[in-house]
Amino acid sequence: MSLVEIGPPHFDVDISIAYATRENFTGQPVYSRPGCYLHADAAERLARAIALAKPQGLRLKIFDAFRPAEAQWALWAHTPDPEFLADPKRGSPHSMGAAVDLTLVDSNGRELDMGTGFDAFAPLSHHGNTQISAEAQRNRFVLLGLMSAAGWDFYSSEWWHYQLFQPRGKYPVLSDNALTQPMMSDAVKRRAAETAAKYA
């Protein structure tokens, strides 16, 4: 199954793949390059969300999309917290190309205040949390409205995470070799395989 590459000019979005940098909860790069891909069904819904955001003077900024199964194991090895990470034995919607982590930016490319940063594994990241500012709550609701209207489901614990409805059983879990150009180094994949073997 082929994945659709997400980015200009076909998708008018900002790309900032956090797991290709140290700017994620592990503090280390998980990907060796910042690839951004989605299943065709998800790519279609992303295009809808882009179109809905544009008249509002807003654009989408993507932190993560397709996440190879090996990467999910690498994240789980670091923080096996099922509230914020899908157990890789079940399969993450990200590893199906059926989920995206994102935020909104204004016409100047500035991220809207969402109350927390991406990958903040804390109750403040939950949808509907009222301990963040009123502005941040409004911004989350704008993102929720755009994504919901475009056909996405949300995850209650993470304001940045959206996925296709009921992806498990419909979309296969894919590894890094599903890509013609891998996103992960052999060393990270080896460590991920060792982790998977421990949980087998």
158 is a catalytic site residue: yes
Phi then psi dihedrals of residue 105, to 5 deg: -125, 155
Report the alpha-carbon angle 113-38-174, nearest 5: 120
Out of 23, 83, 111, 158, pick the active-site residue.
158
Give the whole-angstrom CA distance, residue 58 versus residue 47. 14
* Cross-strand pairs, 162: 100, 154
**Pair of tokens at residue 135:** 């502005």
Are 122 and 129 spatial neighbours (Cβ–Cβ below 8 Å)? no
- Of 67, 61, 65, give the one whose Cα is nearest residue 8: 61
Are 31 and 19 spatial neighbours (Cβ–Cβ below 8 Å)? yes
Active site residues: 158
